[in-house]
Structure 1
Amino acid sequence: MIFNNQNKTISTNRLILRLFQKSDAITVAKLCNNYNIYKSTLYLPYPYEEADALGWIEQHLENFNANRLYELAITDKKSGELYGAIGLSNNETFQQGELAYWVGEEYWGKGYATEAAQAMVEFAFEIKNYHKVFARYFGSNPASGKVMEKIGMKKEGILIDQIKKDGHFEDLVYYGIVKYESK
C-alpha cells in the first residue's frame, strides 16, 4: 500500500483507491442500481439513480479533509475502470473506524474488495494510527465475511435480527482487527 497525501490516493498491486469525481456518478449509478448489491448493503437506496451518486460524492472531499470519513473509488491501476467503493470512518476519540465496501456485481470474485480492504486497513494503522478497524455484514452475505477473514479480521459476534430490510430481519455479523494483530 502506497499512500499519496497530495493526491489522496492509495495504490496497491492492481488498484488505485481515489476520491470519487462527479464524472463517476453515471458509473456509480449503473453499478449500484442492482438489487443484489442493494440487498447486501445497509444504506444504498434502490433503485439507485445518478442524483443519488452525485449527492453522495459531493461530501467526500470535505469528509476526507476533515478526517471524518475516507470514501474512495476502487479503480483499475492501468485502465482507470471503476469497480466499486470502499470507505473507512474515523472515530478519533476511540482511535477506530468502520470499514465498508461494495463492488459492482460484474467484478465479484476477482479479489478487488479484498485488495482494497487490505489497503484501507494498512492506511488506518500506518497512516492514521488507528488502534482498531471493524466491519459488519448481513448474515445473508457470507462472501463479505470471507473478505474480512482474508485481511486478518476476526469474528467478534452476531447481532441477531438487527436490521429490517425489505420486510424481513437480518443478522449483522461483526468482525474486527486491532493494530497489533495486523503485523
Structure 2
Amino acid sequence: MVPARPQDMDLAAKLGRAEMRAALSHKTAAASATPGPCPVIATRRLVLRPHRLADAGAISESLGDFQVTRMLARVPQPYHRQDALDWLVPQVSGILPDWTLAITSGDDTHIGLVGIELRHDHWHLGYWLNRFYWGKGYMSEAVAAALERFFRRMPQTTVFSGAFADNLASLRIQKKLGFRIIDANQIFSLSRNAMAPHVETMLLPQDLRVITGQ
C-alpha cells in the first residue's frame, strides 16, 4: 500500500473519503502505466495529431501573442521560434510518456495544443488556442476528444488541471466537461512575471461529460 504523503492529506481535506480513495488508486495506476503513443484523433471540425518540428513557426506565432500566453503559467513572453523548437525536440523524440496533441484545422494548419502530461505522479491537462480561433467552440471540442481517448487507454486515471482565476473561458470549459474545483492558490506566471490567483481542478474518468455534435 502506498503511504499517504502531506499533499495527499491536503487533497483528502478537500474531497470525501470515497473520492480520496478513488483519486489515490487512480494515481497509483497512473504512476505504473502510460497511455502509449500520441494518437491521431478526428473530430467534427478538427484533427488532433502528434507534433512535428515543422510546427515551430505556427507555435511561435500563436504564443507570441500576450493575450494567449498571459493565461499560461510556464510560457515566457516574448516567445520565439527557437523557444518552440526547444520545446518540440523532446516532444517529437518519443521518449516522453506525455500526449501533446497539435490542434489542426482542415488544411492541417496548427492552431493550438492539448497536452496531457505526467508530472510528479499525476496526469495534468493543459491547452491553448490561437486567439483568432477563440469563440468557435474549438477548444471544448479538442479537449473533450483528447480526454475521451486518454480515458479509453487509462480508465483508472485521475486528470488534474486548472486555470488562472481571470481565465473564465477556460474554467467554463472544464466545468462543462465535468471537472470539479479542489483548491485555489497563487502560482507564478512567466509571461506576466508575477504571481496570479489560480484555480485547481480534478476530473475522474466517470465524471467526463460527452459533448454532443463533436
- TM-score strictly above 0.5: yes
**Match of 1:162?**
187
Distance in 1 separating the partners of 2:58 and 2:38: 21
- Conserved in 1, the CA contact under 8 Å of 2:163 and 2:200? yes
Relative to the length of structure 1, the TM-score reads 0.84
Check whether the contact 2:38–2:101 (CA below 8 A) recurs between aligned residues.
Answer: no
* Pairs within 5 Å for 1:1-183: 8-62=39-93, 65-66=94-95, 68-76=97-105, 78-90=106-118, 96-159=122-185, 161-163=186-188, 166-182=192-208
- Whole-angstrom CA distance in 2 between matches of 1:163 and 1:130: 31
CA displacement, residues 111-134 of structure 1 (integer Å, 9 cap, x when unaligned)? 111111111211221123342111
User: Partner letter of residue 162 of structure 1?
Assistant: I
Please identify which structure carries the higher helix content: 2
Normalised by the length of structure 2, the TM-score is 0.73
Paired residue secondary structure (1:43)? coil
Residue type of the alignment partner of 1:99: L
Distance 1:144 1:84, change over 3 A: same
Following superposition, the deviation at residue 67 of structure 1 comes to: 5.4
Larger relative contact order (C-alpha < 8 A, sep ≥ 6)? 2
Percent of pairs identical after alignment? 25
Kept in 2, the 8 Å contact 1:32–1:38? The answer is yes
Q: Which has the higher strand share?
A: 1
Deviation string, structure 1 residues 2-44 (Cα, Å, up to 9, x no partner)? xxx8883122121111111121111111111011112110111
Runs (4+) of structure 1 moved beyond 6 Å? none
Unaligned runs of 5+ in 1: none
Root mean square deviation of aligned Cα: 2.2
Give unpaired runs (5+ residues) of structure 2.
1-35, 210-214
Aligned counterparts of 1:101 and 1:81: Cα–Cα separation in 2: 17
Q: Distance in 1 between matches of 2:75 and 2:135?
A: 21
